[in-house]
Structure 1
Amino acid sequence: MAKTPEGRDVSDGHIVAVLAVGFFLLDVDLVVVNPLLVPISKDFGSSLGVATFALTGYLLTFGAMQLVHGTVSDSVGRVRVLRAAMAGLAVADLAAALSPDIWVFIAARAVAGASAAAIIPVTVAYVGDRVRPERFQRTMATLLSASAVGAASATLAVGVLTDLVNWRAPLVMPALIAAVLFGLYARLPEPERPAPDGRSVRERFAVVLADPWFRFFIPFTFVEGMAMVGLFNFFNAALQKHGHSVLISGAVTSAYGVAAIVGRLAVGRLGARAGGAAMFGFGTAALFAGYVVAAFSQAIPAILAASACAGVALAIGQSALQAWVLQAAAPRIRGGAVALVACSVFTGAAVSTAAVSGLVGADRFGVLFGLAAAVTVPVSVIGTLMRARFAREQGSQQHRQEERWLSSP
């Protein structure tokens, strides 16, 4: 049982629940624009390719600011950084809802991405500070399931609000949730952190990059972000360009959230028996299958299946990756380490969305999803093999520690 700064007792369940609300907001804000790209481009008289830069700008600042939020939280505190970020997010989303033209909208969403960027690295570092290592993946799967529910809820709510009001109304939704979270985060206890070691930010990042595993993680997660976080965002637009409404498209792609919940249950049941390598391999294989289906057809059944596969990949594959990163990161630099990896993931996602903007503008979604499937193959194979190697190295280290303990007088 932890205590808040005011001395109130807070259970671990309450803490995870608040963190889950944060991850719920994370995906609400990440996906709220996806169903709106077509109506926004029509309203502002821009091409769909230009409107796509609202997604690219968000992901780019979201990735870059991971470094700032994660590192700052190592020194000033996790809770303080989360609350400041929620204030910024609420203001930015309101500005996006009131935008007079496409460029102001793109800029406002970029600021929203910079603010929302705090949620992943700071929350994951918070979990690493307070949760036992054997519960990392289960806790992360819970948070990722909450984010998937946010994605499903957002796509449905966006469709309803756009049909009933206009495309601006859905953007008020994440602004209001951010304002609520500003208060909820104040009820979290600030975890104890190791005493400052006198290192500068540059020196802290140098320590992270001196670790061979993080030298692998940075380029690997850049490519993984393209597949897992970037390219699936176009499932909704593909349906709309094939003549379906925002509401119908949102209902179909909300299968992502439902499948992620099922995936979370699978993690809970299989996590103790299946290794991290198997979980990562299964999750990325599901993502590959989804992209292959979507490459051959962008009809409702195909996108429904593809969205479900992406949800399973999030809950099982992405949670396995995040647990892997937490296990590899030393507590003293955990915030910066997680931030570097998250920055790499979302920078890769931003680059991928910008790279395919021409395909989106030309309605060549089959080619787009075929490329996504091709990118997923090396991610799945290399990630699974390297995760298995990490497990072997950990087992060897633990065995050597046990031998030293048994041989000590």
Structure 2
Amino acid sequence: MTTFTPADERQHLTLLGLAGFASMASMRICDPMLVVLGQEFQVSTGEASGVVSVFAVVYGLMQLFYGPLGERFGKLRVVSLAVTACALFSAITALSVNLPMLLVMRGFMGAAAAGIIPLSMAWVGDQVPYERRQETLAKLMSATVIGMMSGLWFGGFAADTLGWRSAFVLLAVMFALAAALLWRGRQKSPVAASTQAPTLIASFRLTGQLLAMSRVRWVLTVTAAEGALVFGAMAFMPTHLHQQFGLSVVAAGSVMMLYGVGGLLYSQMARRWLAWLGERGLVRTGAGLVASGLLVLAWGSGVWLGMLACLMTGLGFYMLHNTLQVQATQMAPAARGSAVTLFACSLFFGQSTGVLLMAQSVDMGWLSLAFTAAALGVSVLGWVVYRLVGRH
């Protein structure tokens, strides 16, 4: 493992944060567009949600490859290549002339973006001691949360005013900037892959060995459930705010930014939250906030309740999710790159499943019931994770 000075560590964290910002913006930018995309391509909102689910499916599938690639060629090198590919695919996505082309290009974007945040987390796991890791991951999370907020807002704004294609043009510019800075940063402080790095075949074999470990399996299982319940619901929050709360597309995206504000409230005070509540307390509080937020969103009325619901859900999710992130970085320290990318694979396969299930409910007008079911599921999930974290 390459040894970094504190200055090198800060520089690389900043660059990885910029890349994570753009990656998360690209992931969430279509959420507030679903109604507009459905109208433009003359399909239902549920059918238009394929632009969200295809991104998640491919994102998750590619983790099976990025883990071994990161172990073999170096995590920062692979991240730099992935960001460069994102810039190219984002530009092409803006040229989509029909829904099938848009779906294909969103798949390519998911394939490229998959190599950014999970390998960045794995790099933090390699470089940062465990006692500083939750705080450091929370700082990296701040950049991704702001990216999510920006994607949600600009996706709605672009769809309402400039046209949805302009959102992907801006994404292409952001990715290009992040790629240029990453390559420049790597040239100033080159990081070579370890001479002991395993071959790709050995890395894929290692994935099977990881799945044989009980601790890895439980982390991946609860993470998949988290992705299905929370991310599946999140994809349709702007649609619900538009249809049930009477907000415009851009206003719905703006209210959804409070989900990210909740994440920032957690990430900026991660050390204090941990000191006040402990890991298990974070899990219990986080699950309670998410469940409450989803119930308020499902059955509340009025913009203020919608805003409160988004804030509660965001704060609670990041309390729960950051705890699982830390568990992921430590569940197999000898193969952290593969382990963390498996974690991301599980999360986004769960998300794609949740989006597909939610898509059925939105077309049948059952979205409030689906949010209620997700709230109950998160409550059960919180209880399970609370017990499992206590064992380790």
TM-score (normalised: structure 2):
0.92
Rounded to whole Å, the distance in 1 between the matches of 2:116 and 2:313 is 21
Rounded to whole Å, the distance in 2 between the matches of 1:344 and 1:3 is 30
The one-letter code matched in structure 2 to 1:175 is A
Name the SS of the counterpart of 1:244 in structure 2.
Answer: coil
- Residue by residue, what CA displacement relative to the aligned partner does 1:3-52 show, whole Å, maximum 9, x if unpaired? 99xxx994322222112112211221111000111111101111111101
Number of residue pairs aligned between Structure 1 and Structure 2: 385
The one-letter code matched in structure 1 to 2:65 is V
- Are 1:196 and 2:197 counterparts? yes
Contact persistence 1:126–1:191 (CA under 8 A): no
Please, which of 31, 40, 43 is the counterpart of residue 40 of structure 2? 43
Report the equivalent of 1:21. Answer: 18
- Residue by residue, what CA displacement relative to the aligned partner does 1:164-200 show, whole Å, maximum 9, x if unpaired? 3212111222221111111222214437758235671
Please, which of 238, 241, 244 is the counterpart of residue 240 of structure 2? 238
Contact persistence 1:25–1:178 (CA under 8 A): yes
Report the equivalent of 2:146. Answer: 149
Rounded to whole Å, the distance in 1 between the matches of 2:365 and 2:91 is 30
The one-letter code matched in structure 2 to 1:22 is A
Displacement of 1:266 after TM fit?
2.9
Please, which of 158, 162, 166 is the counterpart of residue 161 of structure 1? 158
The one-letter code matched in structure 1 to 2:272 is R
Report the equivalent of 1:93. Answer: 90
Contact persistence 2:227–2:351 (CA under 8 A): yes
Displacement of 1:142 after TM fit?
1.4
The one-letter code matched in structure 2 to 1:311 is G
- Are 1:308 and 2:299 counterparts? no
- Are 1:262 and 2:259 counterparts? no
- Residue by residue, what CA displacement relative to the aligned partner does 1:127-157 show, whole Å, maximum 9, x if unpaired? 0111111111111111222211112222222
Q: What runs of 5+ residues in structure 2 fail to find an aligned partner?
A: none
Rounded to whole Å, the distance in 1 between the matches of 2:226 and 2:180 is 34
Contact persistence 2:59–2:114 (CA under 8 A): yes
From the CA coordinates, give the structure whose radius of gyration is larger: 1
1:384-395 residue pairs with structure 2 within 5 A?
A: 384-390=386-392
Displacement of 1:107 after TM fit?
1.1
Rounded to whole Å, the distance in 1 between the matches of 2:197 and 2:12 is 25
Comparing 305-314 with 154-163, greater Cα deviation is found at 154-163
Please, which of 353, 356, 361 is the counterpart of residue 355 of structure 2? 353
Displacement of 1:315 after TM fit?
2.9
Name the SS of the counterpart of 2:269 in structure 1.
Answer: helix
Displacement of 1:68 after TM fit?
0.9
Report the equivalent of 1:338. Answer: 340
Displacement of 1:299 after TM fit?
4.1
Contact persistence 1:138–1:271 (CA under 8 A): no
Report the equivalent of 1:394. Answer: none
- Residue by residue, what CA displacement relative to the aligned partner does 1:92-115 show, whole Å, maximum 9, x if unpaired? 222222111111111111111111
Residue identity over aligned pairs, in percent, reads 25
The one-letter code matched in structure 2 to 1:222 is A
Name the SS of the counterpart of 1:363 in structure 2.
Answer: coil
Displacement of 1:280 after TM fit?
2.1
**Would the alpha carbon gap of residues 182 and 370 (structure 1) be closer, same or farther in structure 2, given more than 3 Å must change?**
same
Displacement of 1:217 after TM fit?
1.7
* RMSD between superposed Cα atoms in Å: 2.1
Report the equivalent of 2:283. Answer: 280
